[in-house]
């Protein structure tokens, strides 16, 4: 009877060793996953926000119109105030409302305009922090310029792609909005597979195609007197831009080529995907598929010439 506690302790110790060895063998990326989960916490803490404070959740399901700056005093302490262009699909703001956010639909404007949705968000965060009557601090995520964007894709998205492709990859094709995805993925994949190609699929009206191909940020649809929208002249949402962001610049030199995709091509691809493959996707995803199709045709053509 006296030896039983020792037996239990020895058994528990051996089980712990086996469990540790099992995790080490079957989950070699645990440290990377831990760091990825810690990164958002570290980023928030670095901005002066406390992550261990209690947060009172309230119902803020209403849209704030941007024409009354005085309404900014109702910004949510938790930080879920979302600024977005008013010409974006209402389904996006409806979903955010259901999740409890305050959605600020801002009229489309150039980036130099204080009422551009990015500048609007920055100013709201600064006003919140400067007001002593408000609880907490405002935090501007700055998704277009914050390097945490591309770093997250470097550490997470790209590693997952390489793993799922079993280490073999010919090309990566993607659209770019903030540029974080393609920059982070390009940096990681190119370091593992230097000969693979990274290609931007760019919607019409966006200047990234010409930026990558010719070094000039311009699109023919952007010339004076031809634009139908205040921003990128396309029905595609979520990708396409007419300025180089810090996130895109982080991986721009690793991008090998760019493919232009028209609205008509994107719509045709979206219909084909849902009818033939049962894939119901949005406009930006259909741009990626269209770009991938063009890249595959080009690769096949090159291989036929060299064989």
For the stretch 184-213, pLDDT in tens is: 999 999 999 999 999 999 999 899 999 999
The pLDDT assigned to 88 comes to: 87
- Looking up tokens 């990377």 gives 32
| Cα–chain center distance at 251 | 14
Please give the structure tokens belonging to residue 171: 């090309």
Please give the structure tokens belonging to residue 259: 């493919």
pTM, rounded to two decimals: 0.71
The pLDDT assigned to 16 comes to: 63
Percent of the chain with pLDDT over 70: 67
Mean pLDDT of the chain: 79
| Distance separating alpha carbons of residues 283 and 256, to the nearest angstrom | 23
pLDDT in tens, 40-83: 544 544 444 444 444 344 444 444 444 444 443 333 335 578 99
pLDDT > 90? residue 247? yes
The pLDDT assigned to 81 comes to: 85
Strand partners, 261: 203
Burial 62-74 (b: 16+ CB within 10 A, else e): ebbebeeeeebee
């Amino acid at each position: 009877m006296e030896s039983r506690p020792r037996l239990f302790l020895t058994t528990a110790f051996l089980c712990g060793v086996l469990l540790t060895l099992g995790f080490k063998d079957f989950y070699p990326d645990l440290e990377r996953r831990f760091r990825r989960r810690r990164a958002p916490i570290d980023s928030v803490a670095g901005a002066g926000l406390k992550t261990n404070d209690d947060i009172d959740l309230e119902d803020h399901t209403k849209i704030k119109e941007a024409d009354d700056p005085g309404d900014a005093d109702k910004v949510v302490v938790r930080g879920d105030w979302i600024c977005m262009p008013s010409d974006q699909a209402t389904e996006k703001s409806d979903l955010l409302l259901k999740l409890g956010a305050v959605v600020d639909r801002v009229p489309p404007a150039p980036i130099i305009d204080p009422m551009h949705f990015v500048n609007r968000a920055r100013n709201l965060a600064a006003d919140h922090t400067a007001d002593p009557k408000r609880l907490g601090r405002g935090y501007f995520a700055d998704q277009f310029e914050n390097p945490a964007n591309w770093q997250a894709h470097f550490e997470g998205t790209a590693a997952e792609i390489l793993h799922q492709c079993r280490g073999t990859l010919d090309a990566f094709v993607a659209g770019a909005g903030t540029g974080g995805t393609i920059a982070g993925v390009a940096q990681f994949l190119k370091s593992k597979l230097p000969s693979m190609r990274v290609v931007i699929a760019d919607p019409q009206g966006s200047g990234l195609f010409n930026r990558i191909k010719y070094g000039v940020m311009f699109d023919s649809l952007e010339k004076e007197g031809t634009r139908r929208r205040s921003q990128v002249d396309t029905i595609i949402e979520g990708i396409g831009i007419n300025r180089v962001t810090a996130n895109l610049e982080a991986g721009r030199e690793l991008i090998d080529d760019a493919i232009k995709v028209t609205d008509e091509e994107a719509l045709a691809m979206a219909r084909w995907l849902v009818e033939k493959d049962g894939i119901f996707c949005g406009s930006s995803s259909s741009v990626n598929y269209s770009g991938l199709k063009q890249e595959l045709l080009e690769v096949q053509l090159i291989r036929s010439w060299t064989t």
